């Protein structure tokens, strides 16, 4: 297929979505969001928005998304969805995790966040309401960022598991054999920098408005906290994402230490066969369940 044909198809698809979107009723949340956005622009500088706004989005999103998994440990009904039921969370581990998170967030990530303003200025990234991309463009951009970050994460994460490197950096993250949501960013400072670099590649490629920075932060946190939650809860909307790995996929990585290196999707592990032990484990568990059902009947 010629390049011009591909461009025409994408342009037609974009116009079709815009045409359909024009007939949809106005979102009742749009006006309050617009008012809040314009209030922010009128009362804060670009530096304050890019720096303190980004920090606030990260911190609030991170700990709010951790709340459900934290509450699950106190609800007996939810324990049937816990993947490693023989390894409950402890206050000691959660407190240790929380202290390390605060250090990483404010002494490693905050200095990086301080560069956000200079990034937006260098690339002339707009802040205004009128320049803000439509919701479906944001969704597509976040998906593109996720695909890029996933590729980076797979190869660098796999490298961090090399026997000559593992004990110096990535071993910190694997202190928790049975992960929980808050542990998603529990890592050695070097790992935060190495794996975190993948987050910014998509931003450099796709960013056409500061709102993408915040949308992608929220999407990435939703994914990484979910896969570290330790719970495989049904009706999880993230399971609607094609090739989404999910909590069981990554939980096995913490339990087994080998394989399932990707952060979001399953295709890299499938392509390189690094999910073979996980597949064998799943088949073994299915056989156990079948035998248990037969005995029960």
Whether the CB-CB separation of 132 and 215 falls below 8 Å is answered with: no
The one-character DSSP state at 186 is -
pLDDT at 294: 76
pLDDT at 146: 97
Q: Distance (Å, rounded) from C-alpha 116 to C-alpha 114?
A: 5
pLDDT at 8: 53
Contacts of 277 (CB under 8 A, 6+ apart): 252, 256, 258, 259
pLDDT at 292: 73
pLDDT along the chain (297 residues), means of 10: 45 50 59 94 97 97 96 94 92 94 94 95 96 94 97 98 96 94 95 96 95 97 97 94 96 95 97 96 88 74
Question: Minimal CA–CA distance to 113: which of 36, 187, 190, 196?
Answer: 196
Whether the CB-CB separation of 252 and 259 falls below 8 Å is answered with: yes
pLDDT at 285: 87
Q: Three-state DSSP class for 29?
A: coil
Whether the CB-CB separation of 133 and 211 falls below 8 Å is answered with: yes
Token representation of residue 240: 């609607």
- Using CA atoms, how far residue 19 sits from 56, 71, 243, in Å, is 35, 43, 29
Q: Distance (Å, rounded) from C-alpha 130 to C-alpha 108?
A: 34
Beta partners for residue 231, in sequence order: 82
pLDDT at 289: 81
């Amino acid at each position: 297929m010629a390049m011009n044909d591909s461009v025409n198809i994408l342009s037609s698809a974009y116009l079709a979505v815009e045409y359909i979107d024009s007939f949809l009723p106005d979102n009742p949340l749009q006006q309050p969001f617009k008012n809040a956005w314009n209030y922010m622009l009128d009362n804060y500088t670009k530096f304050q928005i890019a720096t303190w706004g980004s920090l606030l989005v990260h911190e609030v999103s991170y700990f709010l998304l951790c709340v459900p998994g934290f509450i699950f440990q106190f609800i007996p009904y939810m324990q049937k969805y816990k993947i490693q039921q023989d390894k409950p969370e402890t206050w000691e581990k959660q407190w240790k995790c929380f202290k390390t998170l605060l250090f990483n967030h404010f002494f490693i990530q905050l200095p990086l966040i301080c560069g956000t303003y200079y990034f937006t200025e260098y690339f002339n990234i707009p802040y205004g309401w009128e320049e803000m991309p439509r919701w479906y463009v944001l969704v597509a951009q976040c998906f593109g960022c996720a695909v890029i970050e996933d590729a980076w994460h797979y190869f660098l994460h796999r490298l961090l598991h090399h026997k000559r490197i593992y004990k110096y950096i990535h071993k910190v993250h694997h202190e928790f054999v049975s992960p929980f949501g808050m542990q998603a960013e529990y890592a050695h400072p070097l790992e935060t920098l190495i794996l975190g670099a993948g987050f910014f590649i998509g931003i450099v490629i796709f960013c056409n408005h500061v709102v993408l920075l915040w949308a992608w932060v929220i999407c990435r946190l939703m994914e990484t906290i979910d896969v570290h939650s330790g719970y495989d809860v049904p009706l999880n909307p993230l399971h609607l994402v094609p090739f989404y790995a999910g909590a069981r996929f990554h939980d096995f990585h913490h339990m087994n230490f080998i394989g399932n290196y990707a952060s979001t999707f399953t295709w890299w592990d499938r392509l390189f066969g690094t999910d073979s032990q996980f597949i064998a484990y799943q088949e073994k568990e299915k056989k156990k369940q079948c035998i248990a059902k037969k005995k029960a009947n």
